[in-house]
Amino acid sequence: EAGVAQSPRYKIIEKRQSVAFWCNPISGHATLYWYQQILGQGPKLLIQFQNNGVVDDSQLPKDRFSAERLKGVDSTLKIQPAKLEDSAVYLCASSLHNTQYFGPGTRLTVL
Amino acid sequence: DQQVKQNSPSLSVQEGRISILNCDYTNSMFDYFLWYKKYPAEGPTFLISISSIKDKNEDGRFTVFLNKSAKHLSLHIVPSQPGDSAVYFCAAQRNTGNQFYFGTGTSLTVIP
């Protein structure tokens, strides 16, 4: 069974630029999550999708972050414009029941 | 507000001995708990879970204990192996389908 795929693995941008991350969840997993993990901290939920609907986006900074889940499968997370404090690993996870399966993450560095 | 806490940032254990990683939570409504293991440059990997209706779950060398009255769970690894060296996160959930709350992680080093 293929795992959660994410791309790119690494991204370096300058502040005020835009960036987008892509996630392909495990086939059949209805729930998809985007997390932000800052160095030394645990993953923090940004947004949770159930199929193509948003379940929880209460911690998503909506003035600069946006996410969509195309046809209830793939998802993209966008930051526009980026700030220095957005430097982090962005993790995508999917789940069928109670257990989440994570992708390898995208490490974003904002200079 | 950190609802799941791992107060030990790091732990070193000799190979073959027991590793005990601890996790505390504040929300008594959490009913499902998980442990994840994370290697550098990889995403967290699911290790073991426990429902609040149980107080112990065992899978090979890994055992998770849940003390609901103390709002505390622990992960025991016996015997510890060098390949167990990683960062371990505990996570908690209230009701299926709701978000997971993660601790800050404990970095385990198993010394050969």
Report DSSP letters for A26-91, one per residue.
Answer: -TT--EEEEEEE-TTS--EEEEEEETTEEEE-TTS-TTTEEEEEGGGS-EEEEESS--GGG-EEEE
A33, two tokens? 């999550």
- Asked if the C-beta of B66 comes within 8 angstroms of chain A's C-beta atoms, the answer is no
The confidence score (pLDDT) of residue B41 equals 84
Digit-coded pLDDT (tens) for B60-80: 999 999 999 999 999 999 999
**Best of B31, B46, B48, B59 to disrupt the A interface by mutation (most A CBs within 10 Å)?**
B46
With cut-offs at 50, 70 and 90, classify the pLDDT of residue A87.
very high
* Ramachandran area for residue B97 (φ above 0: left; ψ -120 to 50: alpha; else beta): left
CB B103 to CB A55 under 8 A?
no
With cut-offs at 50, 70 and 90, classify the pLDDT of residue A21.
very high
- Asked if the C-beta of B99 comes within 8 angstroms of chain A's C-beta atoms, the answer is yes
B51: nearest CA partner in chain A: A98
pLDDT at A15 over 70: yes
The confidence score (pLDDT) of residue A1 equals 62
Cβ atoms within 10 Å of B11's Cβ, excluding its own: 16
For CA atoms B43, B52, A40, A23, the dihedral sign is positive
Digit-coded pLDDT (tens) for A48-69: 999 889 999 999 999 999 999 9
CB A102 to CB B36 under 8 A?
yes
The confidence score (pLDDT) of residue B21 equals 98
Q: Measuring CA to CA, which residue among A3, A5, A50 is closest to residue A30?
A: A50
The confidence score (pLDDT) of residue A96 equals 81
